[in-house]
Structure 1
Amino acid sequence: MTSDTRPNALLRRGLMLILSSPSGAGKTTISQMILDRDAEINLSVSATTRPIRPGEIDGVHYHFIDQAAFDQMVEAEEFYEWATVFGHSYGTPKSQIRAGLKEGRDFLFDIDWQGTQQLYQKDQQDVVRVFILPPSIEELRRRLTGRGTDSAQVVQARMDRARAEISHWDGYDYVVVNDDVEACYTQVCEVLHAERMKRARQTGLIEFVRGLMRD
C-alpha cells in the first residue's frame, strides 16, 4: 500500500528513480535533498563485498557480505544489476525492491550508466532514468578542484571519466542541467511527481472509476 495518507489517494505501483551524473555534477547532493524532503522514497541499499567503514551500518548504508555469498547471488540471478569496482563487488538485490514496488514504495538509485542499462533491461516498466549534466566542463573542473581532496592527477582522471559518462546522456528518459542546485532539485521533483501520476502506475484507478460510474 502506498505511503500517501491523503483521504482520496489511490493505490499505485512504486517506481525506481535513477539519478546518474559524472562526478561533481551534483547527483549525490540532489539525491540527499530528495531523501530528506520526500518521505515516500527510499534509497536502494546495495550489497557489497568491500569492508565496512567507520560510521557505516550494515543494512542501512550497504548489505555487507563476503565474495562467496555475492557470487551465489549472482549465480541465482538475485541482482537487478551488479559490477566489480576497484576489486570489490556491488549489486542491487531484487527481492526487497520488488516487494516494495508492489506496496507503492519508491526507490532512489545513485548508479552509473552501466548499472542503469542493466536495471532498465530487467525492469523497464518501473524505471525512471534521469541524467544530471554540469553547466559546463569548466564548471565541472572547478567543482572537482574546489573539493581540495584530490591531486591534480586524480582530478584529471575524473574529468576524463566524466566526458565518457556524459557521452551516454541519450540513454536516459530525462536530462537536467545542474546550474543551480535548488532549481535542479525542483526539476527532478517535477519528473518524479509526473511519473507517479502515470495512469499505468495508478493501480487503484480501475476500481475508483468504476465507483464513479456506479454513483
Structure 2
Amino acid sequence: MQATKLIVLTGPSGVGKGTLVRSLLQRHPDLQLSVSATTRAPRPGEVHGQDYWFLARAEFKAAIAAGELLEWAEYAGNYYGTPRQMVSEQFAAGKSVLLEIELAGARQVRAQYDAEIVSIFLLPPSLDELERRLRDRGKDSETAIAKRLARAREEVAAQHEFDWQIINDDLETALQQLETAIYGATSCATADPMSPSA
C-alpha cells in the first residue's frame, strides 16, 4: 500500500462483512483492523479487546462525552463506536486502518477524514438472499430479523454515497474486488442488484 489510508467498510447486517474482513487480513497482515467498542453482551467465544471492547452503557456514554470515539451509533438497542486513539496511533505509525462499521458511523468518519478514505459498501446479491443468511445464522428472533431487513433496505439506498459497491455473492470474487478497491489497479464496476421493488 503506497500511502496510509483509512478503509471504511459497511453494509447491512448479515451481508458477510466479518467473513470478508477475516479473509482480507489473512492475505494482507499489513492492514490494521480497528476493534470497535460496544455495549452489547459478548456472544459465545468473543474476547474482550479482540472481537470488541465490551463496555457498560455508562462507560460508553463517558467516552462519547470525552470525545474519545471517532464515530459512534446506536444499533438494535446497543451502542457501537470506534476508539479514536487506536486509529490515531496507527496512522502516526504509517499504517493503514480498516474500519468495519455501521452506515451512520461511516458517514461520521467520512466527514472527518474525507481525503484519506477508501469507502466501500458491501451488498448482498438480493434482499431474499440476505434474509436467508440472517435466518441461517440462527442468532436472531423473527422480530429482530424483520427489523434488520427493514434497516437493510434503508442502508442499501445509501450505497452510492460510497466509492465502491461490491456484491458479496462469491467470496473469492468479492475479496478480489475488495483488494482492488484498497490497493488500486482498475476499478470494478458492479451492477445494482437492488431495485426499488426488491
TM-score by length of 1: 0.75
SS state at 1:14 partner: coil
Tell me if 1:121 matches 2:89.
Answer: no
Tell me if 1:57 matches 2:47.
Answer: yes
For each residue in 1:95-147, what CA deviation from the matched residue of structure 2 results, as whole angstroms up to 9, or x when unmatched?
22112112221222111210100111112122211011122223223333333
CA–CA separation in structure 1 for the residues paired with 2:42 and 2:26: 24
**Aligned AA (2:145):** V
Counterpart of 1:104 (choices 94, 113, 117) is 94
Instruction: Tell me the CA shift for residue 182 of structure 1.
Output: 0.6
Tell me if 1:194 matches 2:184.
Answer: yes
* Greater shift in the superposed pair: 141-150 or 167-176: 141-150
| Structure exhibiting the larger radius of gyration computed from Cα positions | 1
* Greater shift in the superposed pair: 65-74 or 164-173: 65-74
Tell me if 1:146 matches 2:136.
Answer: yes
Counterpart of 1:43 (choices 26, 33, 37) is 33
SS state at 2:184 partner: helix
| Cα distance change on mapping 1:192 and 1:87 into 2, 3 Å | same
Q: Structure 1: which 5+ residue stretches go unaligned?
A: 5-11, 196-215
Counterpart of 1:167 (choices 136, 157, 181) is 157
Counterpart of 1:84 (choices 42, 49, 74) is 74
In the other structure, the counterpart of 2:127 is 137
In the other structure, the counterpart of 2:14 is 24
SS state at 1:123 partner: helix
SS state at 1:191 partner: helix
For each residue in 1:74-115, what CA deviation from the matched residue of structure 2 results, as whole angstroms up to 9, or x when unmatched?
223221101233444322121221121122212221112101
Instruction: Tell me the CA shift for residue 72 of structure 1.
Output: 3.1
| Cα distance change on mapping 1:74 and 1:106 into 2, 3 Å | same
Q: Is the contact made by 1:14 and 1:106 (CA closer than 8 Å) also made in structure 2?
A: yes
Instruction: Tell me the CA shift for residue 47 of structure 1.
Output: 2.5
SS state at 1:109 partner: strand
Tell me if 1:177 matches 2:167.
Answer: yes
The RMSD of aligned alpha carbons is 2.4
Q: Structure 2: which 5+ residue stretches go unaligned?
A: 186-198
| Cα distance change on mapping 1:48 and 1:157 into 2, 3 Å | closer
**Aligned AA (2:170):** D
Q: Once the two structures are aligned, what percentage of the paired residues are identical? A: 36
How many residue pairs were aligned? 185
TM-score by length of 2: 0.80
